Amino acid sequence: MRPAVLAVYVTAMCMNGLDATIVNPALFRIAADLGVAPAAANPVEWAFLASVAAVMPVAGWLCDRYGAARVFLVSLAVFTAGSGLCALAWDLGSLVGFRVVQGAGGGVLTPAGLAMLFAAVPPEERMRLSKYVVVPTALAPALGPVLGGWLADAFSWRWAFLVNLPLGAAAVVAGLVVLPLSGGTTVRLVLRELLPVRQLAADQAFLRGTAAAALAAAGLMGMLFVFPLMYQDLLGASATEAGLVLFPEALGLLAAGFLVERSCARWGERRVIAVGLAGGAVLFALPALADLGPWPLRLLMFAVGLVLGQAVTAVQVTSFAGVGPELMGRAMTLFQSVRMLGGGLGVGLCALAIGLGYRAALLVSAALVAAALTARAGAHAVSETRHP
């Protein structure tokens, strides 16, 4: 595969990954600038996540109809244009609406990009692509809180969106030159790749695992929404300081990616999931129950990423254990879509709880992670009933 094709893909995925976290530390500034209460800014985050989840299921049909490379470039252009519109927003309603546009581009961008890459290389070489996929999906979200906080403090929250414009424009122009835009994909994504709800509904372990992943995402995104607001509002910290406190959580996620295989081999997936989700719930509740300084909070955030990252990875692996190859692509689409919807739901629930105080909202995020543990325990019970 040509390096230029890979460069276009990585650039686009880095932009998409950044936008999952770059706005959180800037929400306090956004609320103040647009004249709303901090909690009222929550649609800025959940509108993006819900839009991503809503359009993701149609990506397969679009790639089949118009070609993965062409759909990838159009979605990248929509995402970039949505970023520019967000930077020009004049009130909360316009910003939320433009975030929906941005999310619509981002929701198609990831599956279309993967289809484009898979079409560009033979099957025996596709495993090598994983290391390139990890870079934008893990590193970019890790940099998002720090970059977003710094941009909000040094310039304006609008730069959290403007930063996408030069990268997106360059990637679109480069893509027009290097990507094969004619015809459909040779790794064919047909209409039947849309959500096979009827077939997957029979797999209770998959459904419960998907529910657990969605609840864990709800807790995590809810916490990432609440904590920067609390840190800035109650402690008078800057957006940069809030981002730096959150940053170790992403480092913990990176470490979890390297450790999860070894942990599961040593203790088993079930124990890794139970300890990780239970530990995540406890760690989410600690800032609500005790006053912690910056460094204890950084250590706590690292621990959150470390334990929760391993648990969620193990949930995904075990949830797909009974899914056959013929359903894998469609099952993954369902899994990721529901997980993104869960993240948006968590932001909304925690925003409602802020009316009772920031600490109450953090306890809601902890309860969502605890609910994920309950859902996954039900999946194990189903599995043991079927295979005594």
pLDDT tens by residue, 20-75: 778 888 888 899 899 988 878 878 888 887 888 788 778 777 877 788 788 889 99
Domains of the chain and CATH, by start? 1-192 (1.20.1250.20), 195-388 (1.20.1250.20)
Contact call for residues 59 and 113 (beta carbons, < 8 A): no
Q: Calculate what percentage of the chain has a pLDDT beyond 70.
A: 82
Which residues lie below 8 Å from residue 271, measured CB to CB, with a gap of 6+?
none
For the record, the structure tokens of 32 come out as 């103040």
The pTM (predicted TM-score) of the whole model is 0.74
Confidence class for position 260, pLDDT limits 50, 70, 90: confident
Q: How confident is the model at residue 19 (pLDDT cuts 50, 70, 90)?
A: confident
- Give me 377's structure tokens: 């325990």
195 alpha carbon, distance to own chain's centre: 20
- The pLDDT value recorded for residue 42 is 79
Cα distance between residue 383 and residue 322, in whole Å: 10
Query: In the prediction, which pLDDT does 290 show?
Result: 85
Q: In which band, very low, low, confident or very high, does the pLDDT at 188 lie, cut at 50, 70 and 90?
A: very low
Among the residue ranges 60-74, 190-204, 262-276, the one predicted with the least confidence is 190-204
Going 4 to 10 to 16 to 19, the CA torsion angle's sign is: negative
Q: Which residues contact 152 (CB under 8 A, 6 or more apart)?
A: 25, 26, 29, 159, 160, 239, 240
pLDDT at 329: 58
Residues 6+ apart with CB under 8 A from 169: 80
Contacts of 184 (CB under 8 A, 6+ apart): 63, 64, 65, 66, 67, 68
State the pLDDT at residue 132.
58
pLDDT digits (tens, 9 = 90+) for 313-340: 888 888 777 776 666 656 766 777 788 7
SS3 assignment for 263-302:
HHHHHCHHHHHHHHHHHHHHHHHHHHHCCCCHHHHHHHHH
Q: Rounded to the nearest 10 degrees, what angle do helices 358-386 and 204-235 cross at?
A: 170
Which phi and psi angles does 36 have, rounded to 5°? -125, 165
Q: How many CB atoms lie within 10 A of CB 139?
A: 15
User: What residues contact 127, with CB distance under 8 A and at least 6 apart?
Assistant: none
Q: What is the residue-averaged pLDDT of the chain?
A: 81
Q: Which of 114, 106, 54, 51 is nearest to 78 (CA)?
A: 106
Measured distance CA(68)–CA(65) in Å, rounded? 9
Give per-residue pLDDT as tens, 111-139. Answer: 787 777 766 666 555 545 555 555 555 56
Rounded Cα gap, residues 296 and 320, in angstroms: 36
Quick check: 185 pLDDT over 60? no
The H or E element spanning position 121 is none
| Residues 181, 8 contacting (CB under 8 angstroms) | no
